[in-house]
Amino acid sequence: MPELPEVETTARLIEPHVSGRRITGTRVFWERTLGGDSIRTFRRKTTGKQITGVRRRAKYVVLHLEDESALLVHLRMSGRLLIEPDASKPGPYVRVALRMDDDHALHFLDVRKFGRFTHVGDPAGALAHLGPEPLGSAFTVAWLRDALRNRTRMLKPLLLDQTFLAGLGNIYVDEALHRARLHPESPSDTVSAPKAKALHRAIRDILRAAIRRQGSSFDGFYRTPEGQPGDYQHEFRVYGRAGEPCPRCGHPIAKFVVGQRGTHVCRRCQRRTSRPRRRARPRA
DNA sequence: CTATGGCCCTGGTTGC
DNA sequence: TGCAACCAGGGCCATA
């Protein structure tokens, strides 16, 4: 599923095709993709506007418009952005199509309709609830160590919480926890300082490597805007490898559910830690 | 603050 | 073989 590396790749690849272009026409084929606006309202807000820049924040592709508003694109499960010749008629799963002033169009495809293509007047405000970027300067070892210590949730749900840290999804969390030898169900405040450091490094290394490989493709959904699959799935150590030997120790990879998410661990490498039991009161 | 569960969706997989 | 039930999955919302 598209997570930070896939969204980053998408943003980078569409940027040269849409930055500086003007939107000359908007078509919407599934209204709920707009996340609240009616088709009429959305068309009014976007048609004629110039796209001044493309960025990524968390798992959003942000298309900045000339009037300081923006389009927030969230790929969710199955969304994709494509650059198409304007003449081409939208394929079966296209939910939104923006015609550009250079005879190309930006298509938002989304089989499962979970994705969003939303216009917001104040992008900074709309994104303000998100946690730090894992590859940004605010995400330091010290920040992570302290942030983990100040919470009590299980590690995996916490790392998936976009208001805690922005951009990780199910795949890269499983990979990072395995790399750092941490158990997804360990309470975050039981993570030692050295482990926090290892987790910090694992997250950054994995995300950077995945971006270098243009993300991960394994279920027929994610492709770059150029139609190419990513390559990072070949580097998975635990995700989707239930029953296979752990690449580090050979112990079979286990799969179970944590916080309603399929979760992959090596039970030998990743030992669950728990909070010290309340000491029983010595009685008389 | 944390945990749980439902909802949104569809195509692919599983079970009978 | 055919068909229905089931499942994955990110974010959001309601509830406890």
pLDDT of residue A232: 83
Q: Give the residue from A231, A235, A241, A282 showing the smallest Cα distance to A265.
A: A241
Residue A193: band (very low, low, confident or very high) from pLDDT cuts 50, 70, 90: very high
The answer to whether the beta carbon of residue A220 comes closer than 7 angstroms to any atom of strand B is yes
So what's the pLDDT on residue A220? Answer: 64
Neighbours of A218 (CB within 10 A): 16
pLDDT band, very low/low/confident/very high, at A279 (cuts 50, 70, 90):
low
Instruction: Give CA–CA dist A118/A46, Å, rounded.
Output: 10
The Å distance, CA of A130 to C1' of C10, is: 14
Q: Which segment, A187-196, A212-221, A258-267, is predicted with the most confidence on average?
A: A187-196
Residue nearest to nucleotide B12 (CA to C1'): A219
| pLDDT the model gives residue A251 | 94
For chain A, give the percent of residues with pLDDT over 70: 93
Cβ atoms of residues A4 and A229 within 8 Å = no
| Catalytic residue annotation of A | 2-3, 59, 261
| Cβ contact A243 with chain B strand, < 7 A | no
Say if residue A191's pLDDT is above 60.
Answer: yes
Tell me the torsion sign for CA atoms A159, A161, A162, A167: positive
| Distance in Å, residue A28 CA to nucleotide C9 C1' | 24
pLDDT tens-digit map of A39-95: 999 999 999 999 999 999 999 999 999 999 999 999 998 899 999 987 678 888 999
Q: Which residue is nearest to nucleotide B8 (CA to C1')?
A: A114
CB proximity A7–strand C (7 Å threshold): no
pLDDT of amino acid A217: 73
Residue A216: is its pLDDT beyond 60? yes
What pLDDT is attached to residue A240? 87
pLDDT at A278: 64
pTM of the predicted protein model: 0.93
Is the CB atom of residue A261 positioned under 7 angstroms from any atom of strand C?
yes
Nucleotides of C under 7 A from a protein CB: 8-12
Query: A176: pLDDT confidence band, cut at 50, 70 and 90?
Result: very high
For residue A129, how many other CB atoms are within 10 A of its CB? 10
Give phi and psi for A158, each to the nearest 5: -65, -45
Q: What is the pLDDT of residues A147-166, one digit of tens each?
A: 999 999 999 999 999 999 99
A76 CB below 7 A from strand C atoms: yes
Structure tokens at A12: 């980078």
Domains (range + CATH), chain A: 4-126 (3.20.190.10), 141-266 (1.10.8.50)
Q: Tens digit of pLDDT for each residue in A222-240?
A: 666 667 778 788 888 999 8
